[in-house]
Structure 1
Amino acid sequence: MRQRNKPWADDFLQENAHLVIPNPGDYKNKWQELFGNENPIHVEIGTGKGQFIVGMAKQFPDINFIGIELAKSVIVTAAQKVQESGQNNIRLIQENAENLNEIFMTDEVSTVYLNFSDPWPKNRHEKRRLTSRSFLERYENVLQQDGELIFKTDNRGLFEYSLVSFSEYEMLLREVSLDLHELHDPENIMTEYEEKFSAKGQPIYRCKAVFRGE
């Protein structure tokens, strides 16, 4: 979906550089110092308008959450939500997920969330999918041993592709749900897309996986 240009976005991001970190590579291996604590770091890739990350930060105040979103017009909306929430355990990054290893050190992250990622359905775009092998290599590098990758989508094709991708990478699947909301998981925070699709009766798929390591 094409996002509207927001002419005030640049000024807002400059004024809120404490929330949307302008040079994230400077904090590689120093994110806990930025938060001022030693709490675990959870990263959401494709944070969208921020509903999920704000909800998670409220539910789990002893976790540091970092949201990555490339679109400027979207991340400013997320930043507004963070600002309004008053949560001090959230930071945002306007960056391409391809640069993940330039932002986080090996073993610096405890959990990675992929929520309703672009399915990139055409075969020639496979490498852009956030569950393709090249991205799994990035996640494995930044995740601590036994750190989880948690993936949610409404797209059955992407979910099936991802399960195959995880298996071929020899990841351990801890959970595979073909209808997440039937689980009635009290810890599940819905994204904006999740609310929209589930209201229409669309099943939500979720997988939790870990890398096996050496």
Structure 2
Amino acid sequence: MRLIFLGPPGAGKGTVAAKIKEAYGIAHISTGDILRENVKRGTSLGKLAERYMQAGDLVPDDIIVEMVESRLQEPDCSEGFILDGFPRTLPQAEALDRILKKLKVKLDAVILLEVDDETIVKRLSGRRVCPKCGAIYNVSFNPPKADSLCDHCGEMAIQRNDDKEEVVRQRLAVYRERTAPLIDYYLRKGILKKVEAARGSDEVAHAIEESLAGGYHGHA
């Protein structure tokens, strides 16, 4: 099973992808996670990417494409994968087509998670992340049990810079401008499936599995 998850920042792509990964036994590839890991480790790629991320802009295609190509060749992708956060632009989608052709694999579906902007702003600006173990909370929907402290390791859960409201609105504007054209691109290929994603992640994952079962047989 080879999938792309499309949708605005805050649509819940990462959370739902983790559930689909478990259901199908495939790799979950989040370009955001790979980038943040590079930023954290202070690699040259991370330093370069950080400037763009802090401004709420997209990291340039050549950096991302190179990163994804090497990731898709790792052994855990042999049974399939979910691409989460890539492609985000038409040139990235075309580059991905070339990579997949080279690797002799085909996409099964592109899942579009649909959520309105105001729900996203509320979700993201309320999000808090534990810097130590990566646990994610939300001050409105899922706060830590004790005063801002992570339930798992007791570290203070913090708001990431790119979750501040003004940056979230900028990220949404960038998404509408650059990523929305991908919807037409994959519609024309006949592999786009739309899923309403403003509900709980279990319901969204279930809806995705149902839509995949309608047009897909077998797990490899």
Give TM-score scaled by structure 1 length: 0.34
Identify, as 1 or 2, the structure richer in helix. Answer: 2
Give TM-score scaled by structure 2 length: 0.33
For CA contacts below 8 A with separation 6 or more, give which structure has more relative contact order.
2
